[in-house]
Chains A and B, each alone.
Chain A
């Protein structure tokens, strides 16, 4: 056996060691919470890994869905997530298109300015933001939460989509322009179809950020009208007596939508997210 083959075998073994450790660290916690969601409180409290078959149950899900207002909160999260996604896409697609295609004075400074907002501490911004939303009478409204969350996604989305558009040859736009297409036609018929994978990732990004947001909701939401899943699972898990089976079921239901969406965009996720970083 040559040293080259031996080297390959050693690399393969090492790579599998990394894979196994990663699976244990990154995947096991998710499997464990799913597993827990099907166990009864007494069987969780035995501290055993395996319980007798009759101790597995769907009761946790039934309780969470019927006894609590979980469905309302789920619907709030969904409403807010979809609105944030649509509004942020609308704004960021045209902004990124402008920054990618037009010769705008001070463009680089503008891009730098948008990007540098990532530096601003959100905990500082939310104090005056709370007062702005209060003065607009939007406290505890869906639109108030949406406006607050928009600033979490817009800068990154603009930066990412601009990178994505930059990689689409400008000749295509030029040809369409000569053929008499206006800006909207060029954007909708030429750029958007090619950029569709990037836009999907941008949409996914904003939905996931909105769905997972705790900070903004925690100050703008004041009641059941706007409370989202992150607030509720946080409350359930810091109760005096924690029903871990039910907390696990609520957590699983919170995770599932993001995982489903993830499975659709998974293969394109990184290329999309890092488009701003990689210039071809």
Chain B
């Protein structure tokens, strides 16, 4: 047997699992989007674009879509900026910094369900840490269940995302920064470049590929993220935090209307594909330039 064929053989287990549990489900999911499939019924029939037509008038769908786009944009943008700031701080050679670096990523490894419980507990009225602190500084009138207030629940969902991922960004950017040759900075200093110029013209271009990977992957992960919202609020109060993945989940596993759920999932996929194509176009153009 040729070496090349042996190489192909090594791919078989991975490709088989992905074919059965990713590719087939994807295609079957896309098919379902055009049917009235329901988990409680044994038969289903082709309904054409009926599910998508129904989406147009579905207020919860539009609210969820809006929230998903805002959440992804705000979360990734903030993670990027805060991650850069954190990386900058960690790149300073100061006492205690290596201990700080070694613990700061802990938030990324603990289960999301545990994170949500920690924040739900801190957000409890009267007994939660947030309200205790507000009481101590004389802002007692702010006392409330923070995930239960439609005006601020969404901000708390953003905070959950930041809590989990900003340290990961920080550490990843730091690793990339340390790979930038020191001599670049020394040369710039001799030329009289100030700190901001050095950051803009040496650090940022130096960590560009890391930025691209982190941002791209987190756009996909954040947009598709289900558990933060589902576990923290379930989409409430009164749809204030509803996002598309949670709406799809409720349609499938609470209402069992999987055909309709699949049509929403299809819209999500189309949106991410558009993002992906635009991103590749921009990336390729920059590579050429």
Is B32 within 8 A of A104, CB to CB? no
Mask, A192-231, CB within 8 Å of B = 1, is: 0000000000000000100110110011000000000110
Nearest CB on A from B275, distance (A): 8
Query: How large, as a class, is the contact surface on chain B?
Result: 35 or more
Tell whether A44 pairs with B127 under 8 Å between CB atoms, given A30-B118, A125-B26. yes
Q: Return the chain A residue nearest B121 by Cβ.
A: A244
6 A-B residue pairings within 8 Å (CB atoms): A15-B89, A18-B86, A30-B106, A47-B127, A124-B248, A276-B213
Check if A185 is an interface residue, CB within 8 A of chain B.
no
Mask, B178-193, CB within 8 Å of A = 1, is: 0100000000000000
With the chains together, A226 CA to B29 CA distance in Å? 26
Check if A58 is an interface residue, CB within 8 A of chain B.
no
Q: Which 10 A-B residue pairings sit nearest by Cβ, starting from the closest?
A: A102-B7, A124-B265, A212-B111, A18-B89, A128-B28, A98-B10, A128-B25, A277-B213, A95-B14, A230-B113
Is B167 within 8 A of A26, CB to CB? yes
Main secondary structure of the interface of B (DSSP, over half): helix
Q: Which of B91-110 contact A (CB under 8 A)?
A: 92, 94, 96-97, 100, 102-107, 109-110
Nearest CB on A from B247, distance (A): 9
Main secondary structure of the interface of A (DSSP, over half): helix
With the chains together, A27 CA to B244 CA distance in Å? 30
Beyond A247-B117, A266-B102, list 16 extra A-B contacts (CB 8 Å).
A12-B92, A19-B89, A30-B107, A121-B224, A124-B26, A124-B269, A127-B252, A208-B109, A237-B121, A244-B121, A258-B111, A266-B105, A271-B175, A274-B175, A277-B209, A279-B209
Q: Which of A17-65 contact B (CB under 8 A)?
A: 18-19, 22-23, 25-30, 32-33, 36, 44-49
Contact for A119 among B86, B94, B220, CB less than 8 A: B220
Tell whether A121 pairs with B261 under 8 Å between CB atoms, given A15-B89, A90-B13, A266-B102. no
Contact for B7 among A101, A251, A254, CB less than 8 A: A101
Nearest CB on A from B166, distance (A): 8
Chain B residues near A150: list those with CB within 8 A.
17, 21
Q: Return the chain B residue nearest A247 by Cβ.
A: B117
Is B18 within 8 A of A117, CB to CB? yes
Chain B residues near A109: list those with CB within 8 A.
none
Mask, B213-230, CB within 8 Å of A = 1, is: 110010011001011001
Tell whether A99 pairs with B11 under 8 Å between CB atoms, given A125-B29, A128-B32. yes
With the chains together, A29 CA to B107 CA distance in Å? 10
Is A219 within 8 A of B10, CB to CB? no
Tell whether A125 pairs with B25 under 8 Å between CB atoms, given A19-B97, A120-B269, A155-B18. yes
Is A262 within 8 A of B109, CB to CB? yes
Mask, A116-136, CB within 8 Å of B = 1, is: 111111111111110110000
Tell whether A269 pairs with B171 under 8 Å between CB atoms, given A124-B266, A262-B105. yes
With the chains together, A92 CA to B10 CA distance in Å? 9
Check if B112 is an interface residue, CB within 8 A of chain A.
yes
Check if B273 is an interface residue, CB within 8 A of chain A.
yes
Chain A residues near B227: list those with CB within 8 A.
214-215
Is B94 within 8 A of A16, CB to CB? yes
With the chains together, A102 CA to B252 CA distance in Å? 42
Is B209 within 8 A of A32, CB to CB? no
Tell whether A36 pairs with B26 under 8 Å between CB atoms, given A12-B92, A14-B89, A123-B226. no
Is B14 within 8 A of A274, CB to CB? no
Is A274 within 8 A of B172, CB to CB? yes
Q: Return the chain B residue nearest A232 by Cβ.
A: B113
Tell whether A127 pairs with B17 under 8 Å between CB atoms, given A27-B103, A230-B111, A237-B120. no
Is B213 within 8 A of A104, CB to CB? no
Chain A residues near B176: list those with CB within 8 A.
274, 278
Check if A233 is an interface residue, CB within 8 A of chain B.
yes
Nearest CB on A from B233, distance (A): 11
Is A270 within 8 A of B13, CB to CB? no
Check if A169 is an interface residue, CB within 8 A of chain B.
no
Q: Return the chain B residue nearest A261 by Cβ.
A: B109
Mask, B260-281, CB within 8 Å of A = 1, is: 0110011011001100100000
With the chains together, A204 CA to B133 CA distance in Å? 36
With the chains together, A150 CA to B18 CA distance in Å? 9
Nearest CB on A from B161, distance (A): 13
Contact for A18 among B29, B85, B132, B224, CB less than 8 A: B85
With the chains together, A206 CA to B21 CA distance in Å? 17
Check if B24 is an interface residue, CB within 8 A of chain A.
yes
Q: Return the chain B residue nearest A265 by Cβ.
A: B109
Mask, A237-261, CB within 8 Å of B = 1, is: 1000000100110010011001101
Is A94 within 8 A of B13, CB to CB? yes
Is A278 within 8 A of B26, CB to CB? no
Q: Which of B119-176 contact A (CB under 8 A)?
A: 119-122, 124, 126-127, 129, 131-132, 135, 163, 166-168, 171-172, 174-176
